[in-house]
Amino acid sequence: MCARYELDESPADIISRFGLTDPLHAINMSIIRPTDQALIIKASGIATVCGWGFRVNWDNKPMINARSETLRGKPTFKPHLENRCIVPASGYFEWRKESNKKYKNRIFPSDQAIFSMAGLVDGNTFTIITCQPAPEIAHIHNRMPVILTPVAEREWLNGCQSFEHVAHHLVPYDQAPVTAMEEPLPPPRQGDLFQ
């Protein structure tokens, strides 16, 4: 998954979709980039704002993604397997490469206007878990965030369930087609007429 996603829905719609009881304040409701503060929902449905990307002492870049297949064995993520969260979104962005050009795609499940991505929390930061892509978007990128169904969200956030009991949700989304809307390339720049 690339380093951009969006949450472009009204606070009222987000509260309704996730059954939140607290008002949403000071939340970036547009394009979210690594290290930005963003809305996450922890166990028991507690909404909070955290920075995107685990801090590690061996890399200057934040760890914004965690591969579902290797979570159990990675020292960065293994201690946080029981600190699960969901990350609300209305789409995420990936760039399809073709020869020397990149094409921006906004990707989202076709059955949910607001969806959630599986994540882990480390204090005041979070990371998004990725998996193999759904077949319909595999031509764009070889990874995608784990998108959860509403039923899977409840199980993922259930603190009484161990990671081993909920790990089966860390798979490509298959409840509905995953849609990619590719943005057209900008027109070529006109050369300076007075050179």
pLDDT, tens digit (0-9, with 9 covering 90-100), for 121-149: 999 999 999 999 999 999 999 999 999 99
Q: Is 131 a catalytic residue?
A: no
Average pLDDT over the chain, rounded to whole? 89
- Residue 145 tokens read as 């965030």
Catalytic residue among 50, 94, 131, 153: 94
Domains of the chain: 5-182 (3.90.1680.10)
Instruction: Give me the mean pLDDT over the 178-195 stretch.
Output: 69
CA-CA distance, 73 to 55, in Å (whole number)?
Answer: 18
Check whether 185 has a pLDDT greater than 80: no
**Span between the terminal Cα atoms of the chain, in Å:** 42
Q: Is 69 a catalytic residue?
A: no
Question: What per-residue confidence (pLDDT) applies to 190?
Answer: 57
Can you name the residues that pair with 147 across neighbouring β-strands? 117
Question: What per-residue confidence (pLDDT) applies to 177?
Answer: 92
Tell me phi and psi for residue 164, to 5 degrees.
Answer: -60, -30
Question: What per-residue confidence (pLDDT) applies to 12?
Answer: 86
Question: What per-residue confidence (pLDDT) applies to 21?
Answer: 80
Which residue matches tokens 């369930």?
Answer: 161
Q: 34-84, pLDDT tens digit by residue?
A: 999 999 999 878 899 999 999 988 888 999 999 999 999 999 999 999 999
User: Is the Cβ–Cβ distance between 70 and 131 less than 8 Å?
Assistant: no
Catalytic residue among 2, 136, 155, 182: 2
> Which of 13-17, 21-25, 82-86 shows the lowest mean pLDDT across its residues?
21-25
Q: What percent of the chain has pLDDT above 90?
A: 70
Question: Quick one: DSSP state of residue 76?
Answer: T
Distances (CA, A) of 129 to 21, 58, 68, 187: 26, 20, 6, 35
Question: What per-residue confidence (pLDDT) applies to 27?
Answer: 59
Strand order in the sheet with 178-182: 31-32, 5-6, 91-98, 101-109, 178-182
